[in-house]
């Protein structure tokens, strides 16, 4: 299993919202789309599973067979989590969050730089596939929202991570571009990687081949599990 979460919980600081994740499994080759109403905890789930948000004390999260839960409570933990993220994960944030002081090309290449990889043809290839070749040498502030979103998609997959997380990656795109971008995410890493996407476009996700998981909202929170798509342990 690439990722196995059990009994994870997250509570907002004011305790008004609790997300519970009884079980969530991503295996190599999985392509999963989370759908559900605004505010029900979809981004929070991505934050938890991508090691950006600290879960409550109970529960367990294994990445590639390694239990990372203890990292949250140890001094050395942040470095371990950082290494796992840098080498094995890619993330398309809801707001594209490109670094404003780097060109689009340098933004996309950033994960390669962090890992000490020098092959730049991949940056060019992804930019061509996402139709932003002409934007590579511009600064993020000069791009449209949709162009920035496509650059963020390229940055998330450029280092061929085994776990790709994407938070509404096509929200700002024209339907034709959205279809292409979703397909590109779907095709990333083939059978050795998993892609977990949050989207309000469940129809397109299903057409592309993603398995759909519904967040189940309830008073004061929501529950999200992959058990229902046949991944019970
Ligand atoms: N710091 C915070 N304090 C209080 N509530 C918070 C905080 N952070 C998040 N929440 C609550 O957590 C819930 C889940 O938010 P989240 O962003 O995960 O929802 P979402 O399903 O991704 O929404 P959307 O589809 O609108 O992006 C929301 O109801 C939000 O109000």
Enumerate residues 6+ apart whose C-beta is below 8 A from 91: 46, 50, 52, 85, 156, 164, 165, 166, 167
Ligand 1 centre from 124 Cα, in Å? 35
If we measure between CA atoms, which residue out of 84, 90, 69 comes closest to residue 167? 90
Q: Please give the tally of structural domains in the chain.
A: 1
pLDDT of residue 195: 97
Q: Considering only CA atoms, which residue is closest to atom 6 of ligand 1? A: 12
Phi, psi at residue 139, to the nearest 5°?
A: -90, 150
Establish whether residue 38 lines the binding site of ligand 1, counting it when its CB lies within 6 angstroms of any ligand atom.
yes
Facing residues of 119 across strands?
Answer: none
Establish whether residue 142 lines the binding site of ligand 1, counting it when its CB lies within 6 angstroms of any ligand atom.
no
| Contact of 154 with 130, CB cutoff 8 Å | yes
For the chain, residues with pLDDT lower than 70 are 228, 230-233
Tell me whether residue 205 is exposed, middle or buried, using C-beta atoms within 10 angstroms of its C-beta: 0 to 12, 13 to 18, 19 or more: buried
96: domain CATH number? 3.40.50.300
Ligand 1 centre from 44 Cα, in Å? 7
| Contact of 80 with 71, CB cutoff 8 Å | yes
| Range of the structural domain that residue 185 is part of | 3-229
ipTM: 0.96
pLDDT of residue 232: 47
């Amino acid at each position: 299993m690439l990722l196995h979460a059990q009994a994870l919980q997250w509570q907002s600081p004011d305790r008004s919202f609790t997300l519970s994740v009884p079980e969530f499994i991503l295996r190599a080759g999985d392509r999963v789309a989370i759908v559900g109403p605004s505010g029900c905890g979809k981004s929070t789930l991505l934050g938890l599973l991508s090691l950006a948000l600290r879960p409550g004390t109970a529960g367990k999260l294994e990445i590639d067979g390694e239990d990372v839960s203890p990292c949250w409570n140890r001094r050395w933990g942040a470095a371990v989590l950082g290494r796992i993220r840098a080498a094995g994960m890619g993330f398309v944030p809801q707001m594209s969050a490109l670094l404003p002081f780097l060109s689009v090309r340098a933004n996309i290449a950033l994960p390669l730089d962090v890992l000490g990889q020098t092959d730049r043809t991949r940056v060019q290839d992804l930019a061509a596939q996402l139709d932003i070749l002409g934007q590579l040498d511009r600064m993020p502030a000069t791009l449209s929202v949709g162009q920035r979103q496509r650059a963020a998609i390229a940055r998330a997959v450029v280092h061929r991570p085994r776990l790709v997380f994407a938070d509404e990656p096509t929200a700002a795109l024209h339907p034709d571009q959205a279809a292409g971008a979703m397909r590109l995410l779907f095709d990333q890493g083939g059978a050795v990687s998993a892609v977990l996407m949050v989207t309000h476009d469940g129809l397109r996700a299903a057409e592309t081949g993603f398995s759909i998981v519904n967040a189940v909202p309830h008073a004061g929170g929501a529950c999200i599990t992959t058990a229902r798509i046949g991944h019970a342990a």
